[in-house]
Chain A
């Protein structure tokens, strides 16, 4: 039963659509091609150079954080009334990006989408790294980061506890759970491939390392049986989880009373937005990687096109979200809500709002055309634009809602400082550094799962043999 979910019985080669794996591959060629990137491929100058660049960008983050801990959050642009700025914007943005990974590996697994198999591995890695980047912000955005651990419920001499009605506490639990489960899911998926690498590695040290990581996996039929049940259950658990995480993040806003935050549409619209940006990031990474490492056979145009379709769909949901917000602002007749709408369209940040609409709604409509869906170049460009757009969305939601709320007398403006930018760009550096390492030390596509896609992997039951 369990196996059903794992292997689609449809044979891709007979399919009219672009195949999920190019013909001419055997069990061992797949293993070879994927594992060689890790085991055999020499470390190129280009890789080293790129790594150094990313690494130095990452160090910008460390510098910014160092100065932050030294001086306090005052080095940022935040103020009263705009108590949250880049830190929370980036947090929401990164968490959102993470969602694609889990979606691909969990939800598409449940939906038995065979095309997921070759992109889920690095999509999951992407999730982990994105969550890592996101996780930094809730910590450092506090005024006294060295006390941030007070947000966890632990018995203490002061006999005080966190305040469980606060969405921030929900965040703590949601994000940490999300991180943990993603890691577990990712690692479970890795075990058989680690075994493959163990058996293929010549260098005894590397062999030893992979040996330890593989934990003595030997591909026993019993093990596979339990393994698949576990994998299925993890997928089943991760699916509601991934939907819940951005819902909880959206509660940070929806639960408050700030005009522009206090909205019931936030949960679905945040989740859609998350997947939207997530797939954009997948494409941003997949397109160059498959080119550089010759993965076109495994990450085929079919994958890219499907990702494009997902973006189009989620993008439309997001657009609907914007529309409803605007509609409600007008329809409610509430003076604060209607002003919020006015302020977005005409206020000091109007330019940001319009570019948000352009990059998140107008431009992605190009994806209706197969021409753009099947052009790696255009897909890549559009994905970049969407990533920017989704960042702008969070900027609009957080800053523009806060800077002019209830009392006219308390209105203010938000001007990000160089430290805000350094922190933001720094996390991008961190993310790419981790990605850079990942593609060289771990199999970036799932060998075992790819093998199951080969026609010879499918067996006919023949009861008669035993009759």
Chain B
């Protein structure tokens, strides 16, 4: 029964639920039961679900902070370089380094870099775009963007065992438990 080849061909086990509440409870239980490599899927963000599967903090904010600072600096330095070093010319009797005029572009570039990095960073950390993922092999999963909620225990979880895990998931009173082929 416990035959490696079988296990490798399986991504994990998927339990399907009807409501956010059931999913969150199930997630808590599963995580509490010591499963670590688990993931939950829902058509909309559910408060506390991430915590329930033991995912507490992400690095998007950090990325945005760094990129924002880079943007701001590059904005000001560009202007300084242009107006003072590369192309110094008397414009309306103003000083070459007329910093008050440089504030706006600096600000805009901070926002620009920060904003783009927020989107790109989020996608990158999520590993998107991703053309293929095993969970889509389960026919029922097409409802994951509609009104069904899913909990998946990955076969790579040290505690994973095809039969015992299936039993455990069944114990969570899901609508169904199905195997996710990889």
Contacts and interface: CB of A to CB of B under 8 A. Distances in A.
B171 to A, nearest CB: 13
Given A31-B146, A184-B115, A218-B133, A165 B41 contact: no
Contact of A177 (B101, B109, B135): B109
Nearest to B78: A153
Nearest to B102: A164
A225 B105 contact: no
B91 to A, nearest CB: 6
Interface string B40-53: 11111111111011
Contacts of B132: 216
Interface string A124-163: 0000000000000000000000000000010000011111
Contacts of A55: none
A10 to B, nearest CB: 14
A165 B79 CA distance: 10
Contacts of A159: 86-87
Contacts of B64: 230, 233, 237
Contacts of A230: 60, 64, 118-119, 121-122
A291 to B, nearest CB: 27
B162 interface: no
Given A161-B87, A164-B82, A459-B47, A221 B41 contact: yes
B111 A26 contact: no
Contacts of A161: 82-83, 86-87
A27 B147 contact: yes
Nearest to B24: A459
Interface extent on A, as a size class?
Answer: 35 or more
B41 A219 contact: yes
B112 A180 contact: yes
A228 B25 CA distance: 21
Given A27-B146, A31-B147, A153-B82, A459 B119 contact: no
B167 interface: no
Interface string A213-244: 00111111111111111100110011011001
B62 to A, nearest CB: 10
A200 interface: yes
Given A229-B58, A233-B118, A221 B46 contact: yes
Contact of A240 (B41, B47, B94, B111): B111
A300 interface: no
Contacts of B58: 222, 225-226, 229
B147 A26 contact: yes
Contact of B43 (A165, A219, A226): A219
B91 A451 contact: no
Chain B residues touching A, majority SS = helix
B157 to A, nearest CB: 15
B104 A216 contact: no
B101 A180 contact: no
Given A170-B105, A234-B115, A237-B118, A199 B44 contact: no
Which of B32, B83, B104 has the largest number of chain A CB atoms within 10 A?
B104
Nearest to A251: B104
Interface in B1-35: 19-21, 24-25, 27-29, 32
A109 B161 CA distance: 44
B91 A227 contact: no
29 contacts: A28-B147, A31-B43, A153-B78, A164-B79, A173-B109, A177-B112, A180-B115, A181-B112, A195-B145, A198-B145, A199-B144, A216-B128, A219-B43, A219-B145, A220-B41, A221-B41, A222-B53, A223-B126, A224-B45, A225-B58, A226-B58, A237-B115, A237-B118, A241-B108, A457-B20, A459-B20, A459-B21, A460-B21, A466-B29
Given A165-B101, A196-B43, A456-B20, 9 more contacts: A3-B45, A153-B78, A199-B145, A200-B146, A219-B144, A220-B40, A224-B44, A233-B114, A452-B45
Interface of B: 19-21, 24-25, 27-29, 32, 39-50, 52-53, 55, 58, 60-61, 64, 68, 78-79, 82-83, 86-87, 91-92, 94, 98, 101-102, 104-105, 107-109, 111-112, 114-116, 118-119, 121-123, 125-126, 128-133, 135-136, 141-147
Shortest 7 CB-CB distances between A and B: which pairs?
A: A215-B129, A230-B122, A27-B147, A216-B130, A28-B147, A225-B50, A224-B45
